[in-house]
Amino acid sequence: MSDTLMPRYAAPDAEPQAVALDAGVQGATEALLALQRDDGHWCFELEADATIPAEYILLQHFLDEIDADVEAGLAHYLRSIQGEHGGWPLFHGGDLDLSASIKAYFALKAAGDPPDAPHMARARAAILARGGAANCNVFTRIQLALFGEMPWRAVPVMPVEIMLLPRWFPFHLTKVSYWSRTVIVPLLVLLALKPRARNPRGITIRELFVAGTEASPRRAKGSAWATLFNGLDDLLRRVEPWFPRALRRRAIDRAVAFVRERLNGEDGLGAIYPAMANTVMMLDSLHYPKDDPRLKTAKAALRKLLVLTPGRSYCQPCVSPVWDTGLACHALMEAQGDAAINAARRGLDWLVERQELEVVGDWAAWRPGVRPGGWAFQYANPHYPDLDDAAMAAMALDRFDRAGYRVPVARAAEWIAGMQCRNGGWASFDADNEYYYLNYIPFADHGALLDPPTADVSARCLGLLAQLGEADWQAARGRGLDYLLREQEEDGSWYGRWGTNYIYGSWSALCALNVAGIDKRSPPVRRAVAWLIAKQRADGGWGEDGISYWPGAPHGEGAESTASQTAWALLGLMAAGEVDHPAVERGIGFLLRTQQPHGLWDEEPYTAVGFPCVFYLRYHGYRAYFPLWALARYRNLRRGDEQGTAYGM
């Protein structure tokens, strides 16, 4: 190909950044090492929006078990993140989200904030200006119905008898994502029993409904499937009261058995807040005594999600120790040095102990006969390991000591290859979870009912199999590569399902293409490089916010540069062979300029996502290990050490 497709850039005559680069790597390394736990792992805070802290307050009022100190801390947090628009956004600096704002207002009022307080008046005005509480989403409708603030007829019908449906039926729990499954099952019991919150202070929020309006049943839109499911919802609403009681009792028992099998100790059902909270309310509504060990354990699991610090207390949606530990180890291996390598060894040994080798989880419904071998995202979630964590952890183990960690890496690769989808890609928790018609049931207005294959997870899985280079995985690698190339956007980027957004997806894909041996001069790589360079901001960094997930929104753009997204762009460009490009030097300069005296970076924007357009995340660890990783790799490549780009990340 022509040299114009991949120009060579002359190295600068001097290395003015060399001393600063060494200092930056050293400072970030020391800071990351200082955050390692005694047993070798890392676990950073994981922050979402106002929804989870608000729901925790409301759960206490549902149960009439109010911890005044916890409530005060969470209420302070909610006040502190209220937007200038008067409501609460889904991510830092975002627009008002109606449902999050309703829950935050309700929680603050329950916590004792007077409705006529200035911040409450601003919130109320903003909510009413958006049509009021009658326009909220399905999960908020259920919350309001539990407190008697919205009639149950405004909530989509989800009969608990779903638990008894055969797998060939168009709707079955194995046909939705793990997170939907674990949230829905205890919720089905709540929808059947329709319990009423104890609400000891008698809090109401009728003032959030526009005068003369009433919530009507939620309706799906956008497809003939929507019309069909809306009609089915109307039919179920009429006939559900006539369902046989014995059938309902059997369905409730099936749901309870599902939950109890997966209760997961003090890590909770699915190890995610919504499923865990629904479990507590389900057991309470079934009149489990307060001293029942299962109910006590479920409540303890929720309390472990709290971050209680003076002046800043909130509830996390889940915890991320496996993800944090693996990524920290990747960064430290790149940073090198005795202290970094020793710490990485301890972290990797911790990971090996948490590989799931025994429990055959829900994923086996569509992949029977595949042996378990993955990792969960959290401390424990044996029924729900995920492909992204498994590939990331196995790549780290293989890079550190291929011979020493051969057995756990081989089991991970076997599981990952066995979980490949029919189209060649990989999803997060399940295989072939592509029943897209289910997104049109009225209940699924969040648009995240399913777990289809995505470019970022597929890139990680392909990266592992290519890094291993074993003949056993040649067919899987070929199919994965074909999938990844098909997923490239017209502008040259890749979509990022779990990180924001096209910058994250492009970094993931470029790393996989590199280790898979794709020519760096090939059109897919050159298009991605051109796109990343075009998205660099004037300050040398990169930044993209959650708006990019909305249809028609610009790709790769945001209000400000962030350290983590700049690191992703740099790692992607370096994987594509562009270490000498001026854009890379400017990006490194941005990271060095913005590094703080504590050795890490400050980062308020949310650079990750739980459910696009619905639920966003701020990983507090991203500002620690990703910038270090990028700085260290740049230093290594400039010194002529190409080893880092021989791996899938």
Q: Which residues are catalytic?
A: 388
Residue with tokens 């059109």: 523
| CA distances (Å), origin 458, targets 462, 528, 549 | 6, 17, 19
Q: How far is CA 486 from the centre of its chain?
A: 24
Could you tell me the sign of the dihedral formed by the alpha carbons of 108, 112, 118, 120, in that order? positive
Residue 169 has phi, psi (to 5 degrees) of: -65, 145
| CA distances (Å), origin 310, targets 57, 214, 633 | 18, 41, 37
Query: CA 40, CA 400: separation in Å to the nearest integer?
Result: 15
Q: Which residues contact 19 (CB under 8 A, 6 or more apart)?
A: none
Q: How many CA atoms lie within 13 A of 399 on its CB side?
A: 30
| CA distances (Å), origin 643, targets 477, 568, 591 | 21, 18, 22
Q: How many CB atoms lie within 10 A of CB 140?
A: 22
Concatenated DSSP letters for 360-381?
--GGGGTSTTPPP--B-SSS--
Length of the chain as a residue count: 649
Q: For residue 453, give the H/E element and its range.
A: none
Structural contact between residues 320 and 378, judged by C-beta atoms closer than 8 angstroms: yes
Q: Which two tokens stand for residue 495?
A: 């979509």
Q: How many CB atoms lie within 10 A of CB 510?
A: 29
Please, where are the H alpha helices in 64-164?
68-80, 98-110, 118-129, 138-146
Structural contact between residues 355 and 411, judged by C-beta atoms closer than 8 angstroms: yes
Q: How many CB atoms lie within 10 A of CB 76?
A: 17
Structural contact between residues 42 and 349, judged by C-beta atoms closer than 8 angstroms: no
Could you tell me the sign of the dihedral formed by the alpha carbons of 385, 386, 390, 393, in that order? negative
Residue 306 has phi, psi (to 5 degrees) of: -75, 140
Q: Which two tokens stand for residue 116?
A: 């006529």
The amino acid sitting at 348 is L
Q: Is 291 exposed, middle or buried (0-12, 13-18, 19+ CB in 10 A)?
A: exposed
Q: Which two tokens stand for residue 364?
A: 């086996």
Q: How many CA atoms lie within 13 A of 213 on its CB side?
A: 18
Query: CA 423, CA 432: separation in Å to the nearest integer?
Result: 8
- Closest by CA to 188, choosing from 220, 221, 165, is 165
Q: Which residues contact 477 (CB under 8 A, 6 or more apart)?
A: 462, 465, 466, 516
Q: Which residues contact 638 (CB under 8 A, 6 or more apart)?
A: 15, 579
Q: Which residues contact 4 (CB under 8 A, 6 or more apart)?
A: none
In this structure, what DSSP letter does residue 40 have? S
